[in-house]
Chain A
């Protein structure tokens, strides 16, 4: 086996980076004012929007997952791949695409005005919920599809031999599965939406649509009230921490959509009516997910020439931050994962990144840095570090199962050959973890590239990452330039993921 020392050191570092800022936040909040009515309104809004977002995502995912589970059609595997895309899609890019469809002068309003109907307004609660459904409907669908496929094919065969109708199959086989799966899917998505910042920043705002995370940002940016920011950060940590821990229990082995390309043969759902329903569901889902992205591409090409030079400076900054934070995430994850082979509880430390939100960590780091140095000068370093800590849980959840499988299948052979330490790493664990390493590096890189979070607290007007630059362009109503930057960001986020994932797949016969 491999010595655990470096793993314990890495785990200690993670603990320090997560609890250090948290402790500072709690201490500072102790001297701050008690939460006021505006703060409680933010708590209420956070919970309301997360509840609605999770509810709609989960309910709408049922027909989508059912259609995917029982139909074979051209483009099915493409659609399933697409369902994995929101994970690596920058939130701000998706918001831009949603604005192009549902915004003031978007496609939907053009149609409504043409038909003589009143236009819709995307900003506020329903806009926030819409964006969250855009991101989490695919996730809910993948969770449900996986559960659907865990119903053994023999059950459906038995149902067919008993001549059960589609409705009876639903009642006897599918509803019991949904009853056990839906609560888990709901709580996972609820937790994600509770801590989502970018969507609230771009589509929320105002006293009626401010989440706790957004309130932290506003306390920084508008009032520079660090005490209030700390109080809000404590509230957010308690709120999100509890929910995230519950969600984590449910989300084990969600698997990022791997192995979902199997279709179980069904005899009960062959009627024309059900075929038409499923087809309509598939088309609407594809349209809902693809149209915004398509418009990002089209508008991006149109706005390409309008991009100011700062966009390209910001692109370089973002690329460096992304690569550095990916390297940091892997450098922390690998020793922790190796140590977790011996002592499972080490894994939990790596997962703590989920509990504390990036904005809370940012607040704490700001409070630590502020007395000594200009936080703006450390904006990029802090962003890279926080992104690495946020990506760490996802990297670990891909990496650890891969290492465990290697030890299970080849551990005895390696033992008998005396493969220990570096030799074991080099000839057994690393080569076999190559796919997992590539995939998780891709996740970390794309995530960091597209993240708009902690940077908003630290950056001064002279500094920006690409997502922040894009947000500033949107704020200045330079929508064409923002569209160009959006396309750039989309290409680079997906490109980074593709590149790392490809590197991991080099060895086909391994």
Chain B
């Protein structure tokens, strides 16, 4: 369970407030106009930004002051999700052990993950030798082996075409079920949210609304969402 307790985030003179709880196993879409603070909120949860006040709690435990690497979190960014100088195996392996000293069981585990995302033959390649979609799959394989209970997606598939992006989102949905974790994803597109997010929050006008069931929200959108969608 992720709790954002009276969070107040200030960045470049702009304030964002968030105060809600997300139940475990939920997939939350953060939807709203660009510049509204969706990525900023993820960066606070991940530990790259400090909130001015308030706390971030995971399972009731305060993680506000933990460094990013010690949080129960895996995250995919808009770009640079893979180290271009390392092979596919190494990139995924870093999700298991940051010193890359993998034992036989861990190597087998890594291989299963690679197979799971459909890249079995690509283990020795470097990201530059892969297509954009394949690179996304490598990053997702790493999320899979990391087995962190909280997954943050900051529009990692925005550079892909619509068909590929939907493939990736479906894969994310499946992987999240396997991990049994909680997910937060940033999105511009209502259809992305409708595809894999069971709950949605609207980020606009300096606040993050509490998560509401996605289908119900879009059927009967509140004013902030109507303003954003232009309906």
Q: In the complex, how many angstroms separate the beta carbon of B71 from the nearest chain A beta carbon?
A: 8
Interface size class of B (residues with CB under 8 A): 20 to 34
Residues of B contacting A434 in the complex (Cβ-Cβ under 8 angstroms): 85
> Are the C-beta atoms of A413 and B73 separated by less than 8 Å?
no
CB atoms of B95 and A415 under 8 A apart: no
Chain A residue at smallest Cβ distance from B68: A415
Contact assessment for A409 and B80 in the assembled complex, using a CB-CB cutoff below 8 Å: yes
For A, the interface residue count at a CB cutoff of 8 angstroms equals 20
Contact B86 A431 (CB under 8 A): yes
* A507 interfacial contact with B, CB 8 Å: yes
**Pairwise interchain contact B98-A423, C-beta atoms closer than 8 A:** yes
Instruction: Please tell me if the beta carbons of B68 and A416 are within 8 angstroms of each other in the complex.
Output: yes
The CA-CA distance from A116 to B95 in the complex, in Å, is: 80
List which B38-71 residues lie within 8 A (CB) of chain A: 46-48, 67-70
Question: Chain A contacts of B77 at CB under 8 A?
Answer: 412-413
Name the residue on B nearest A417 (C-beta). B94
A239 at the binding interface (Cβ < 8 Å): no
Question: A416-B46, A417-B95, A509-B128 given as contacts; is B80 within 8 A of A410 (CB)?
Answer: yes
Of the residues B67, B73, B85, B94, contact of A431 by C-beta under 8 Å: B85
- The complex places the Cα of A427 from the Cα of B99 at a distance, in Å, of 8
Closest CB in chain B relative to A436 CB, distance in Å: 13
Give B50 Cβ to nearest chain A Cβ, in Å. Answer: 14
Is B207 an interface residue, CB under 8 A from the partner? no
Is the CB–CB distance between B84 and A509 below 8 Å?
A: yes
C-alpha gap A204/B195 in the complex (Å): 80
Residues of A within 8 A of B70 (CB): 418
Check B69–A419 contact: CB distance below 8 A: yes
A413-B81 in contact (CB<8A): yes
Q: Measured between C-beta atoms, what is the minimum distance from B143 to chain A in Å? A: 10
For chain A residues 377-420, which have a beta carbon within 8 Å of chain B? 409-410, 412-413, 415-420
Q: Is the CB of A418 within 8 A of B129?
A: no
User: A432 near B: Cβ within 8 Å?
Assistant: yes
Which residues of the other chain, B, contact A416 by a CB distance below 8 angstroms?
Answer: 46, 68-69, 73-75
A510 adjacent to B85 (CB under 8 Å): yes
Distance between Cα atoms of A177 and B52 in the complex (Å): 45
Evaluate contact between B69 and A417: CB separation under 8 angstroms: yes
Minimum Cβ distance to chain B for residue A163 (Å): 42
Expressed in whole angstroms, the minimum distance between the Cβ of A421 and any Cβ of chain B is: 9
CB neighbours of A346 from chain B (8 A): none
Whether A432 contacts B85 in the complex (CB less than 8 A), given A412-B48, A423-B98, comes out as yes
Q: A260 contacts the other chain (Cβ, under 8 Å)? A: no
Tell me if A510 and B84 are in contact (CB < 8 A).
Answer: yes
Q: Which single member of B47, B98, B126 contacts A417 (CB below 8 Å)? A: B98
Q: Does A301 contact B (CB under 8 A)?
A: no
Q: A402 to nearest B CB, angstroms?
A: 12
Q: Is the CB of B94 within 8 A of A427?
A: yes
List residues of chain B with CB within 8 A of the CB of A507. 85
A324 within 8 A of B: no
Report whether A427 and B86 are in contact in the complex, using a CB–CB cutoff of 8 Å.
Answer: yes
- In the bound complex, how far is the Cα of B129 from the Cα of A208, in angstroms? 64
> Which residue of chain A has the shortest Cβ distance to B94 in the bound complex?
A417
Which residues of B are found within 8 Å of A431, using beta-carbon distances?
A: 83, 85-86
Is A428 close to B, CB under 8 A? Answer: yes
CB neighbours of A410 from chain B (8 A): 80, 83
Would you list which residues of chain B between 60 and 117 have a CB under 8 Å from chain A?
67-70, 73-75, 77, 80-81, 83-86, 90, 94-95, 98-100
Chain B contacts for A423, CB-based, 8 A: 98-100
Please give, as numbers and ranges, the residues of chain B lying within 8 Å of A432 by CB-CB distance: 85
Could you give, for residues 466-510 of chain A, a 1 whenever the CB lies within 8 Å of some chain B CB and a 0 otherwise? 000000000000000000000000000000000000000001011
Q: List 30 A-B contacts (CB under 8 A).
A: A410-B83, A412-B46, A412-B68, A412-B75, A413-B83, A415-B47, A415-B48, A415-B67, A416-B68, A416-B69, A416-B73, A416-B75, A417-B94, A417-B98, A418-B68, A419-B98, A420-B98, A423-B99, A423-B100, A427-B86, A427-B98, A427-B100, A431-B83, A431-B86, A434-B85, A509-B126, A509-B129, A510-B84, A510-B85, A510-B126
**Shortest 9 CB-CB distances between A and B: which pairs?**
A418-B69, A510-B85, A415-B68, A509-B128, A431-B85, A423-B98, A416-B75, A419-B98, A418-B98
